[in-house]
Structure 1
Amino acid sequence: MDAQWFLIFADILLIAHTLLVAFVILGLVAIYLGHILNWQWVRNIWFRLAHLIIIGVVVLQSWLGVICPLTTWEMALRDKAGQAGYDGSFIQHWLQSILYYSAPEWVFVVAYTVFGALVLASWYLVRPKSPGR
């Protein structure tokens, strides 16, 4: 396979990964804002389950010291294309790239855990509706 295809697939993974991160962050903002503005869609059980599961996986990975498989896969594709990958997790890499900020791994574990706790709290503060309700 041509190296260009590996880069295209790596970029597709990067975009998908970025969209997942945006879904988690903006989803939580939408849940709390939706509660204030009475948006009923933020109570959709499928939206809320997807949101909870994704952040739950992120928190679990951080506790176990596991790098996200999307990051690993993207780096492997970039390596096959002859392009340098990056060290650490997706979030650490992009935070460092965007904000020029580097922190010890425990800072990210705490941040993910606190964010996960906010998502879990949203289940009690902004209760999702079951499909039959």
Structure 2
Amino acid sequence: MGWRILADATMVLHFTFVAFVVAGGFLAWRWPRAIVPHLLAAGWGLCIAVFRFNCPLTWVEDRARERAGSAGLDGGFIDTYLTGVIYPERYLVLIQLLAATAVAVSWAGLAYRVSARPS
């Protein structure tokens, strides 16, 4: 039971992390200090997408599922829970471009908000 809870909690944490990578820059509009963890998260997300690094959260979830007696993940987190489930596989590149656009817009908006602040 404990391994299953760890696996499910890791999955939820992973969804939260992916959401933060995509939309965390918008949080910095309200809380500018959030930009530092967002830069780190977005950088890690970029490295995973471009260089195919293995995500430690995927590893933890996979091992916990195996120890709980379930099959491990067939692929990475995105491959298992998003691609082919939330959006068709043929749209993966489009989704990645939309996510990158959301990050860029959030950063541009933050830069504008910071520069437009009265001194």
TM bucket by the smaller chain? 0.7 to 0.9
Matched, 1:88 2:72: no
- The aligned counterpart of 1:75 is 62
TM-score when normalising by structure 2: 0.72
Structure 1, unmatched stretches of 5+, are 35-40
User: Of the candidates 12, 16, 27, which is equivalent to residue 13 of structure 2?
Assistant: 16
1:23-62 alignment runs, 5 A limit: 23-28=20-25, 31=26, 42-62=29-49
On the 8 A contact 1:56/1:116 being kept in 2, the answer is: no
- The aligned counterpart of 1:115 is 99
Pairs aligned (count): 114
Cα distance change on mapping 1:111 and 1:101 into 2, 3 Å: closer
Match for 1:27: what amino acid? G
Ranges of 4+ aligned residues in structure 1 off by more than 4 Å? none
Distance in 2 of aligned mates of 1:113 and 1:97: 17
How many Å apart are 1:120 and its aligned residue? Answer: 4.1
- The aligned counterpart of 1:65 is 52
How many Å apart are 1:99 and its aligned residue? Answer: 3.1
Cα distance change on mapping 1:82 and 1:97 into 2, 3 Å: farther
Cα distance change on mapping 1:49 and 1:117 into 2, 3 Å: farther
Of the structure 1 ranges 88-97 and 5-14, higher mean CA displacement relative to structure 2 is found in 88-97
Structure 2, unmatched stretches of 5+, are none
TM-score when normalising by structure 1: 0.66
* TM-align CA RMSD: 3.0
User: Of the candidates 98, 101, 104, which is equivalent to residue 88 of structure 2?
Assistant: 101
